[in-house]
Amino acid sequence: MNKQGQKARAAPSPVTGVFKPDTIRDVADSLNVTSLSDTVASALASDVEYRIHQVVEEAARFMRHARRTTMTTSDIDQALRVLNIEPLYGHSSHNPPTFRRAPPIPQSTSGAIYFVEDEEIDFDRVLREEKITLPNGPRWAAHWLAVEGVQPLIPENPPAIPKDSDPDALAKPSSPSRPGQMFPLTPPSDRPSPVQAAKKQQQQQQTVKQVLSRELQLYYTRLTSALLPPSASDYAKRTAALASLRNDAGLQALLPYLVRWVGEGVVGALKSGAQSENDGRVLEVLLDVIGALLDNPTLFVEPYLHQLLPPILSTLLHSSLPPSHAVHLRTSAAQILSHLLTQYSTTYPSLPPRIMKTLLLALISPEKSRSTREGAIRGLIGIGKEAVRKGLVEGGGAKVVGSECMPGEEGGLAEAVTDALKVLHPPSAQPVPLDDANEPDAATIQQLKDTVGDFFAERLWGDAVWARAVLTGDSKS
Amino acid sequence: MSAATPAPSTPDVTSPSGTNVATSETANGVNKAILDYLRDKGYKGAEKEFLTALETQPEASTSTSSTSSTISAEDLVKALSVYAQKANRPGENAFKDAASVLQELASMGNPATIQNLISSIDAVGAEEILSLDPTDKQEGFRELEAWVDGSLDMYRPEFRPIIFPIFCHFYLDLIQHGFKEAALKFYAEFSPSLAPTHAPTLHHLSTLLLPLHVQNDELAQRFRNEKYTVRMSRSGFGLLVGWLTEGVGGEPMGSGEGFSGKRGKRGRAAVLRVVNNHLRFDVTSSTTTSVSENAWEESTGLLTSVIPQASGSSSFTNAQSFNASKGELKLGMPAMSEELRTETDRALRDQALVERDPGVHDDLKILYNRPTQETGGVPQSELPPYPPSFRTMDIKREVEKVRDARKRIRLERTEVRTTQGVVKNQPLPSICAYTLHDVGEGVPCCTFSQDTSLMAAGFSESYIRLWSLKGEKLKGYRSDFNASSIRDMSSLKKIREKGGSTTRKLIGHSGPVYSVSFDPTSGSAAPPRYLLSSSADATARLWSLDTMTNVVAYRGHQNPVWDVQWGPMGIYFATASRDRTARLWSTDRTSTLRVYAGHLSDVDCVRFHPNSIYLATGSSDWTARLWDVQRGSCVRVFIGHQGIVSTLAFSPNGRYLATAGEDLAINLWDLGSGKRIKKMTGHTASVYSLAFSEESSMLVSGGADWTVRCWDIAAAGGPQSKVKENGVLTNGNTANGVNGDAPTTNGKEEESIETSDLLATFPTKRTPITNVQFTPRNLCLVAGSYLNPEQR
């Protein structure tokens, strides 16, 4: 109030103060005094302003002695009391009235009107509403503001301002009020400036890094440099590193970094085309690392599975692996996958179905390369018998693959499917071929053709037991 | 122009507040009067012109609406002045005597408005009103400012203080004579340059808008009736007089028209009038260079009423001569009585035997280092009367005092001589902050008992809350007991209340509680037994902490009691009130023992000197005073604050007084001489509480800027040097080079209100600190209520 008044006065334009003669005339109108001359109105306005300043100056004393920096209605009340004026009843500082501004009516000459909002209270609603718990009474909490002149960094104390910080962050909490201020400024708000917030984030990042001890950091760099880049001469070093990963305890802190390192390595290798020998070796090593991590009994890998699976599945299903390593890579990826599933399918029951879905999609959906399909089949083998049956026989995976295979083709994809079928039932030692003429055998052949397609049906013809097992499993399920 | 200058002023006289609207009838009457006048005087040309003007005017008025036929008095007099000027040319100046003009106007039987105007002018004095052209003051003040700004650097600090009183008097003159618009214009134009140093007074003056206000307002009347004292060196005074009379002196180059002109002379005359009537120059023989930057604060202002005047004898014009006239003070500590010392000695030895404490010799040394009557201690006879015999509690207290002295955390600056040189070690205190939460309307005060077992807070909701800081239950005695059944301690224990909690509400006041104080008699040896509180209901109340009830209400003040404080040895206490007095009470009487009157405004705070012979008060009249408790007379006055003195503190060694004011400064005063030692600035909002460490080497302050600050008493203070500001002590140049960007330096300059003796600043999250105090072992306790950000 005072500050406002001062400001208004400091500005050159307003001739009179806060109270305009118009205000007086409005009040006079409300009291049925219509013939109020200009001189009287302006003299009254000046006087009213002076009286109000008197009250406010008195109220300021009460505010100061109440150790507050905002004036409340109770201060005004006290001031009126000591000035021997009847206080204005009905204003409590608990519930300060909120003033609303009504925009001026265009036709009339009067300015904006301010009025106290008077909310209507519906007693029914109030009574129905849940009971409000009483707030706690006043209470105290003690903390160390300073210990031998050093302010401890505890939540009770404001965050320390770095000494070398930018001037605006520094100036804010200690910005001196101009000495000419009539009343002291309200203290600076403690909202951290955006600069400070950014700084904080930075600090947090730093602290995370600092959780790793120096020893672990050193170990990490040594380990990764031993593993990659893979060269034949470092074979001993690499095995040692993998052995360490497989068996050493106390690597838990490193786990997130290793997982991330593996993921990035795989992505890097596959992105670059993955045609060179080197990429193949890199992928091999990385798969070894994953295997080693899963093998280590002291590591708690479960939280990082979602980060580990993408590299495994990428290796398994990628369309273009270096030809020299392709089979080996897919097989080992499938092995790791199977290992992972056996280890975690109990604690993480939704894991196998999800992985199977991914693999089936890769197997059946059109426009997938043969190598992807091969990887998918190997993955299914890794998951188990049931998955193979679902994928190849029920899902028609074998049919799809068969249609893509050249008649009489061996190795690669065809071999993978044969391997998979072997998982369902081992082929008999002395195969008895299905007889085309035999009535039930002919039905079986037809069934075989329907389920696995011509290409693989031909192969299964040779062994009646095998073929029947493939089918019966199918019919059973 | 020169001869007719008084005339243009008349329009403003007629219209102090708006324009007077005269009816067409009166306008005709006026016209007639003017014509008569001109005819009488024989101004033919003027008469003719006026007539033609009159003839054209009715035509215009009849053709348009009736409103234009009215002619304002202002226009009238303007027209009049035009003719008067023209009439000057042929004949001699008819207006040479302003009074005669008025007289003639009055004699001509003018319409009522003019008559009223003339009568109102008569009340003030025609000559004065005509000479008080508002533009005069504008000019005069502008020239004064220009002269001060253009004066030599060595004189400028001396001349600056005279600008402010002249501004105030000009403003008051304008208001008093009804030139409200001119006054506001004057204020708007010139107050910004004065605002930094005089904001509170300026603001107060700006609220005065009518002559009536000036007559009734206290500050305005002080300006009117008292002389404003300005200290000035002899040579500086000579220069000022030279400028006032001859207009010679430092005009800045190219400032427009010179001072030699007529207007300049009139402006200077206006300044001279104020200087003659309302200023007193305290001309010193000291050289101008020796005056420090803030020295004017102590010797400038409306001092005559602030300085107590001795009856009959010569009056004092400055605080120094008054303080010097009051002679020496007895600032030593009271001597310990021989019996008490022997008993304490015995108690210490006994305890040491039981506890096998090897430190007992140090204890005894401390005990015997206490001043006796021979070594400067103040004898008991000098003190206000205390009971002649001592009690067990006194021995306990003394024993604990000695122990505290031994186990105290040292906060003195130590200097260790090493081979590299002297290494200074400034220890800083440990501060424990007690933050109050959920306090409703607010907690104006809060205090800790000396043994830190209790905390008391006074609330705006008129009650006091007591907390046990040790987690013990606060139990009072029951009231339903049979007095005959009490025989010993155990039976006394039985009548304690059952249950209870660690906090207790004391209800009795009917207004916000502004101050609470624990009884110091048990010292740090035992919990206090009494609590005093003061409130807006004009009472001080004594609470017994045995029964947890109000025992006495001390009535005597007419107005809210701002502060209450126990004497250092109990029994007596002092209150400070809005009724401009401080009072001394003893707990066993409900009537006042002494009234300390003399402050010109509220007494905001009161503290006892550690030896209980003196009492200091801080007031809203911007001064602090030291009173002789028994005689009730003022023995020192401390002038220098530029705002209300909000709190004060005595150093435990009894030599210093620290006061904090609304000017955000903390002043340190030497009690013996009454001189200001230094001014400490750094707080950015009101300072609420001050406390000295037990060795008197450090001052801690807490305030509304949510900080606790530590100040070095021994350091010289003064503005911070650049080197330290940059936080690099070793090499200032490189530091400046690194941080030398423009925004950085700006920020630093703004910060430089922190004086160099600020040792440390500890911010809290959002807690205005209402109380700081040191325990006897130099642990600093601070308290305040958390300011909820949702609250406005």
Three-class SS state of A392: helix
Give CATH 1.25.40.770 domain extents, chain A.
167-425
Distance from CA of B525 to the nearest CA of A (A): 23
Q: Give which of B652, B684, B674 is closest to B753, Cα–Cα.
A: B684
Residues of B in contact with A42 (CB under 8 A): 17-18
Same domain, residue pair B97 and B124:
yes
Strand partners, B573: B566, B585
Cβ proximity of B623 and B637 under 8 Å: yes
Are B203 and B106 contained in the same domain? Answer: no
Scan for tokens 């002679």, then name that residue.
B327
Domain with CATH 1.10.20.10 in chain A: 13-120
Question: Which residue in B506, B599, B684 has the most chain A C-beta atoms within 10 A of its own C-beta, making it the best mutation to test that interface?
Answer: B684
* Chain B residues near residue A5 by CB distance under 8 angstroms: 203, 206-207
Q: Are residues B107 and B162 in the same domain?
A: no
- Asked if the Cβ–Cβ distance from A10 to B195 is below 8 Å, we say yes
The residue whose two tokens read 């306990």 is B396
A73: closest CA of chain B, how far (Å)? 11
Contact A67 B429 (CB under 8 A): no
Residue B94: partners with Cβ closer than 8 Å, 6 or more residues away:
B41, B84, B87, B88, B101
Least confident of A265-269, A469-473, B698-702: A469-473
- The amino acid sitting at A129 is E
Task: State both tokens at A390.
Answer: 């679902």
Residues whose CB is less than 8 angstroms from the CB of residue B628 and which lie 6 or more positions away in sequence, other chains included: B613, B614, B615, B634, B635
CATH classification at residue B289: 1.25.40.500
What per-residue confidence (pLDDT) applies to A239? 85
Q: Do residues A39 and B21 lie in contact, with contact meaning Cβ atoms separated by under 8 Å?
A: no
Helix axes B24-41, B44-63, angle to 10 degrees: 170
CB contact under 8 A, B704 and A139: no
Q: How many whole angstroms separate alpha carbon B460 and alpha carbon B514? A: 8
The residues in A 151-180 lying below 8 A from B, measured between CB atoms, are 151, 156-158, 163-164, 167-168, 170-171, 173-180
* Chain A residues inside the 8 Å CB shell of B445: 67
Map residue B137 onto helix, strand or coil.
helix
Low-confidence ranges of chain B (pLDDT < 50): 1-24, 58-71, 79-80, 82-99, 122-127, 250-259, 722-751, 792
Nearest to B762 among A53, A135, A146 (CB): A146
Q: Please indicate if any CB of chain B lies within 8 Å of the CB of A102.
A: no
Q: Is A9 on the interface with B (CB under 8 A)?
A: yes
Point out the domain boundary residue: B256, B285, B305: B305
Check whether residue B107 and residue B171 sit in a common domain.
no
**pLDDT tens-place string over residues A163-220:** 443 333 333 333 333 333 333 334 444 444 444 444 444 444 444 445 677 788 888 8
Q: How many contacts, defined by CB atoms under 8 Å, are there between A and B?
A: 247
Predicted pLDDT at B515:
95
Would you call A135 an interface residue with chain B, using a CB distance cutoff of 8 Å? yes
pLDDT in tens, A414-455: 777 777 777 777 777 777 777 767 777 777 777 777 777 777
B292 in the same domain as B151: yes
Q: Which H helix or E strand runs over A289?
A: helix A277-295
Q: Which of B191, B465, B644 sits opposite A138 (nearest CB)?
A: B465
Q: Are B523 and B529 spatial neighbours (Cβ–Cβ below 8 Å)?
A: no
Q: Which chain B residue has the Cα nearest residue A134?
A: B438
- The alpha-carbon radius of gyration of chain B (Å, integer) is 34
Residues of chain B positioned with their CB less than 8 A from the CB of A1:
none
Residues B298 and B405 in one domain: no
Does the distance separating the beta carbons of A94 and B536 come in below 8 Å?
Answer: no
Q: How far is A149 from chain B (nearest CA, A)?
A: 4
Q: What is the mean pLDDT of residues A73-98?
A: 83
Which residue of chain A is at minimal alpha-carbon distance from B462?
A: A66
Residue B287 sits in the same domain as residue B140: yes
Q: A5 in contact with B at a CB cutoff of 8 Å?
A: yes
Q: Is A201 on the interface with B (CB under 8 A)?
A: no
Look at B602 and A179 and tell me if their CB atoms are within 8 Å: no
Which residues of chain B lie closer than 8 angstroms to A145, CB-CB?
A: 431-433, 708, 762, 764, 782
Q: Report helix, strand or coil for A66.
A: coil
DSSP-assigned states of every residue in A126-152:
HHHSPPPPPPP--EEEEEEEEBTTB--
A13-120 fold = Histone, subunit A (1.10.20)
pTM score of the predicted model:
0.64
Q: Which residue in A has a C-alpha nearest to residue B218's C-alpha?
A: A54
> Could you give the CA distance from residue B692 to residue A149 in angstroms, rounded to a whole number?
16
Mean pLDDT of the A465-477 span = 64
Whether residue A229 is preceded by a cis peptide bond, meaning omega within 30 degrees of 0, is yes
Same-domain pairing of B26 and B142: no
Highest mean pLDDT among A52-61, A274-283, A291-300: A52-61
- ∠ CA(A213), CA(A218), CA(A221), 5° rounding? 130
- Tell if the CB–CB gap between B204 and A9 is shorter than 8 Å: no
In this prediction, residue A220 carries a pLDDT of: 85
Mean pLDDT for chain A? 75
Shortest distance, CA A100 to any CA of chain B (angstroms): 17
- B207 → closest Cβ in A50, A140, A173: A50
Cβ contact, residue pair A190, B203, below 8 Å: no
The pLDDT assigned to B310 comes to: 61
Range(s) of the domain holding residue B399: 338-370+383-425
Is the same domain home to B358 and B293? no
Residue B352 lies in a domain: yes
Specify if B706 maps to a domain. Answer: no
Quick check: A450 and A415 in contact, CB under 8 A? Answer: no
Inspect the interface and report whether the beta carbons of B430 and A143 lie closer than 8 Å.
no
Q: Do the chains contact at B764 and A158, CB–CB below 8 Å?
A: yes
**pLDDT for the residue numbered B436:** 93
Of B129, B160, B187, the last residue of a domain is B129
In a domain, B648, yes or no: no
Q: Sort out which chain B residues have CB atoms less than 8 A from A61's CB and list them.
A: 578, 602, 620
The CATH class, in words, for A167-425 is mainly alpha
Q: 3-class DSSP state for residue A6?
A: helix
For residue B171, being part of any structural domain is answered with yes
Q: What is the mean pLDDT of residues A347-363?
A: 82
Does residue B46 sit in the same domain as residue B117?
yes
Contact A403, A449 (CB under 8 A): no
Dist CA A455 CA B82 (whole Å): 126
Which residues on B lie below 8 Å from A156 (Cβ)?
Answer: 433, 435, 765
User: How many domains is chain B partitioned into structurally?
Assistant: 3
pLDDT of residue B651: 94
Task: Name, in order, each residue with C-beta under 8 angstroms of B543's C-beta and a sequence gap of 6 or more.
Answer: B464, B506, B508, B530, B531, B532, B533, B549, B550, B551
Taking the Cβ of residue A186 and every Cβ of chain B, the question of whether any pair is shorter than 8 Å is answered with yes
CB contacts, 8 Å: B461 with chain A:
none
What does the block give as tokens for A11? 């500005």
| Mean per-residue pLDDT, A359-383 | 80
Residue finishing a domain among B95, B129, B163: B129
Does residue B139 share a domain with residue B123? no
Decide if B327 is inside a domain.
Answer: no
Domain assignment present for B112: yes
Instruction: State the average pLDDT over residues A68-88.
Output: 89
Residue B255 burial (10 A CB sphere; 0-12, 13-18, 19+):
middle
Using a CB-CB cut-off of 8 Å, the residues of chain B touching A152 are none
CA A379/CA B436 separation, integer angstroms? 66
B220 shares a domain with B97: no
- Both structure tokens of B778: 């130099």
Which residues in A lie closer than 8 A to residue B188 (C-beta atoms)? 9-12
Residue B459 placed within a domain = no
Residue B319, domain member (yes or no):
no
Residues of A in contact with B710 (CB under 8 A): 149
Å from A340 to nearest chain B CA? 51
Residue A78 at interface with chain B, using a CB cutoff of 8 Å:
yes
Phi, psi of B367 (to 5 degrees): -60, -45
Residue of A nearest to B444 (CA): A66
DSSP-derived letter for residue B356 is T
Chain B residues with CB under 8 Å of A64 CB are 644, 646, 662, 686
Retrieve residue A400's tokens. Answer: 């799809």
- The contacts found for A446-453 with CB under 8 angstroms, 24 or more apart, are A447/A471, A451/A393, A451/A396, A451/A398, A451/A399, A452/A392, A452/A393, A452/A398, A452/A399, A452/A402, A452/A421, A453/A398, A453/A399, A453/A400, A453/A401, A453/A402, A453/A403
Give the bridge partners for B550, in sequence order.
B543
